A and B are shown apart, each in its own frame.
Chain A
């Protein structure tokens, strides 16, 4: 980090995960995670530069060192973890692949898509799951793979394809971009597990620790009720769990090469995981996604961070 800022690879514009607003400021879950790391390292969540990457280019950009971290709705798979020379820092969003179709087609189940043409983005796990889904059921299909998501969407929107597929969260986000969003429905079937998480290059254990524990800090902060609003009062807390997380006890920040206030800086910059979720994709946003699987384990979800101690 000699250059004084974090180089963070994000998607080219996926509402709720990483998309620039009209003034060019990026927002989304993936973006906030990068701001959290920047806050942990530099004490300033703005010391990060976002590099929009296509699905196809993202791994090369990370391998070649063009970005320090890939925070780009990327599915954690075994081959990516083991063969590409990467490490995943954890899961920031539990997703699954689904289909979108036009309401006028009268389709209500994914299996009715036999023989359909499906638009998707090339170089994604989506493309493979799609093939698995139809192959596993002995159904025929045609796939049209675009390099850019926007092109896939507009081809679907213009009727070149009968269906469009990507992660469910992505479908809700992309539907907002359509000419008439209300004319399209997302089918209920989830055909795959898509644990999305930040990716780093293998071979730098300290950097891996920072990436992993930043994510854990966000989740632990939510679990302990630490928010960007009450962070100042929480510094006075007597709860040993809170004291350890906020650096009042022990030297957990120093153990990964960060300052003692690393979690305070993170929460000040972006809030805890729950705040990030609600701000970007939650029920009060245009995407309106429920916490579901992404709720904390204490609330019936599967978000479970290792303790800081």
Chain B
């Protein structure tokens, strides 16, 4: 601990007052930053004027005129560049969210497996980690894209895995679920079951704390979530029917389509990031004192319960901060999509739109702002979670 310094009292405005010094230094740095930013802005402005390049964000309302292969919101060639931006953003977000969920789950499995007393399991996990994190992601993406793409047959000879499920080099085509009359009741029941299960688990936990009595809350909640919607299905009729894709001249039309580009990107990002997350999880678990596990064993807890209730909660404190940066990395790495023709934000907006409009500064500024916002929002959420799980002394 530092010796407490009496701040601002008795020394007045003097260079020897550390507070005054720090304010002067910080003001100096701030002024320098502003000067640099101002210099670059002014230079850019001057260059743009000299080169007769039009500036401003008006181009966002102009008709885009190009097609995009995957759009989660309605988009046609008549849509604006602004709409194309949204399409790219949603494509990036969908890859990032799916990748984050999958890689976190896989990472935990790999991290735990690497510490497993089972020799084979731990060696497989170790080999996985070493291979995945030592090969550049871009190469892995090319590998998955061409490994997923190449061996698959063309649409004419597509593999029909299940009725209405087709696999070809045009992607995985699934039947499209179309909602029927009973949908409201079905989804209402599902939501009610989820809420009820959540409440039940909380109640059981509170009761256990108060009385020490155990209640199989998780099992009951799971049963609820299965049974209630099934009941609704039986009463309200089928909630949806499947609309099968039909074979067109070239490949299938209708149905839900998972593009090979999308699959390759999710696969590459997930497997790559999971290796890093696995190492973080391993480090976190190893940081928990051995005595904690031994104490839990002495209490007669099962291995799985020890892991869930004793080791992981303590490990999480170490896992979450570096996990945050892996999640950020995954989101940012998704911009490599451009290499395998997946229409993400960078490919659509910082690629095609930038090239068609020539508004380099505006487009790049918007793209950077988007990634900055995504990263800051992720950090904020993870920091909040980190604060919540932090060790509290009672």
Binding site for B on A (CB under 8 A): 55-56, 59-60, 63, 79-80, 83-85, 112, 114-117, 122-124, 127-128, 130-132, 134-135, 140-147, 151-152, 155, 158-160, 162, 201-203
Contacts and interface: CB of A to CB of B under 8 A. Distances in A.
B209 interface: no
Given A83-B358, A116-B250, A143 B53 contact: no
Interface of B: 48, 50-54, 65-69, 77-78, 146, 149-150, 154, 169-170, 248-251, 253, 260-261, 338-341, 343, 347, 351-352, 354-358, 360
A259 to B, nearest CB: 29
A60 to B, nearest CB: 6
Given A115-B253, A117-B170, A147 B51 contact: no
Given A117-B251, A158-B149, A132 B341 contact: no
B338 A141 contact: no
A160 B67 contact: no
A162 B360 contact: no
A116 B189 CA distance: 42
Contact of A202 (B52, B54, B249): B52
B355 A122 contact: yes
Contacts of B355: 55-56, 59, 122-124
Given A55-B355, A122-B351, A146 B52 contact: no
Contact of A145 (B78, B260, B341): B341
Contacts of B69: 117, 142-145
A88 to B, nearest CB: 14
A124 B357 CA distance: 11
Given A123-B352, A145-B343, A201-B51, 5 more contacts: A56-B354, A80-B358, A147-B338, A147-B351, A203-B51
Given A59-B355, A123-B356, A162-B250, A131 B170 contact: no
A131 B66 contact: yes
Contacts of B149: 155, 158, 160
Instruction: Say whether chain B's binding surface is mostly helix, strand, loop, or mixed.
Output: loop
A174 B51 CA distance: 35
A291 B351 CA distance: 34
Contact of A83 (B54, B68, B261): B54
A128 B355 CA distance: 11
Given A85-B53, A159-B154, A141 B67 contact: yes
B80 to A, nearest CB: 14
B352 A159 contact: no
A172 to B, nearest CB: 23
B347 A147 contact: yes
Q: 3 closest A-B pairs (Cβ-Cβ)?
A: A123-B355, A85-B51, A84-B358
A202 B357 CA distance: 17
A152 B260 CA distance: 14
Nearest to B78: A135
A299 B154 CA distance: 47
Contacts of B357: 83
Nearest to B153: A159
A134 B358 CA distance: 25
A115 B66 contact: no
22 contacts: A55-B355, A56-B351, A59-B355, A63-B51, A84-B53, A85-B52, A115-B248, A117-B251, A122-B352, A128-B66, A143-B66, A143-B67, A144-B341, A145-B69, A145-B341, A147-B338, A147-B339, A151-B340, A158-B150, A159-B154, A160-B169, A202-B51
Most chain B CB inside 10 Å of its own CB: which residue of A59, A159, A203: A159
Contacts of A155: 149, 341
A160 B150 CA distance: 9
